Amino acid sequence: MNRSTFLRIVVAFAALATLAIAKPVHAADPVVILKTSLGEIDIQLDPKNAPKTTANFLAYVKKGFYDGTIFHRIIPGFVVQGGGFTPDMSEKPTDPPIKNEASNGLHNLRGTISMARTNDPDSATSQFFLNLVDNSSKLDPGGVSPDGYAVFGKITKGLDVIDKMAAVPTGSVGPFQDVPTTPVTLISATIEK
C-alpha cells in the first residue's frame, strides 16, 4: 500500500469517526409498566408527538401517584379508565391541568393510552384511559368531542389484561357508573429501566 492510499484510508476513518461522534443519540421512548390486579401492561409513550402529555404522565408515575389507585370506569367495547380514584372512590388531589394535545396525529386505536378530561379540552390532569377498540371516530378531534382526546402512547404488552378488565361486572357507586363490582387495582406504575 502506498502512502497516498494509506492517507486516504486514514482520512476516511477520521471522517467516519467524526460523523459517529456528531450524530445525536436518541434514547428509546420511555416505557411505563402498570402492574394491575389482573396482570401487567407495558405502555410505550410517545414524547415526540405528545411531549406535554407524556411529561405530565411521567411526573405522576415518578411520584407514585398511581400506586394503589383503581380502574374506576370500565365500558366493554369502549375504554378502561383509571388514574384518579382510590378503592373507596375518593378522588386524589392532582397537579394543575395540561393543554390538550389531541391534534398530534395520533389516533384513539385499540391499545392506545389517552388522557381523560372534562368537557373543557384543556382540563386533563392524572386520569387516563386505555382504548379497548378503535375509537378514532368518537375520540379523535372532530369526533363526538370536536377537540378530541390526546393519545400519548400504546400498549406493547398486556392487551389481554385490558380484555380481562372489560369482562369484569360493573355497577353504580353513588354518582359513578360503570364501576367494577370487584375492584381492579393499579398496584404500581413504574418506568422501565
Q: What is the pLDDT of residue 1?
A: 55
Strands (E), 58-173: 69-75, 79-85, 112-115, 128-131, 151-157, 170-173
- 3-class DSSP state for residue 19? helix
Structural domains in the chain plus CATH codes? 31-191 (2.40.100.10)
* pLDDT at position 127: 98
Closest by CA position to 116, among listed 108, 126, 106, 103: 126
Residue at grid coordinates 388522557 = 115
Whether the per-residue pLDDT at 38 is higher than 70: the answer is yes
Report residue 17's pLDDT band, with 50, 70 and 90 as the boundaries.
very low
How many angstroms separate the CA atoms of 127 and 79, rounded? 12
Q: What is the DSSP letter of 179?
A: E
- State the pLDDT at residue 16: 39
What integer pLDDT is reported at residue 20 of this predicted model?
39
Given a cut of 90, whether residue 69 has pLDDT beyond it is yes
pLDDT, greater one: 4 or 124: 124
Strand duo 151-157 + 112-115: pairing? antiparallel
Higher-pLDDT residue of 11, 52? 52
Digit-coded pLDDT (tens) for 158-182: 999 999 999 999 999 999 999 999 9
Q: Is the pLDDT of residue 27 over 70?
A: no
To the nearest whole percent, how much of the chain has pLDDT over 70? 86
Average of per-residue pLDDT values in the chain: 89
3-class DSSP state of 112? strand
Contact 156, 44 (CB under 8 A): yes
Q: Name the pLDDT band for 26 (thresholds 50, 70, 90).
A: very low
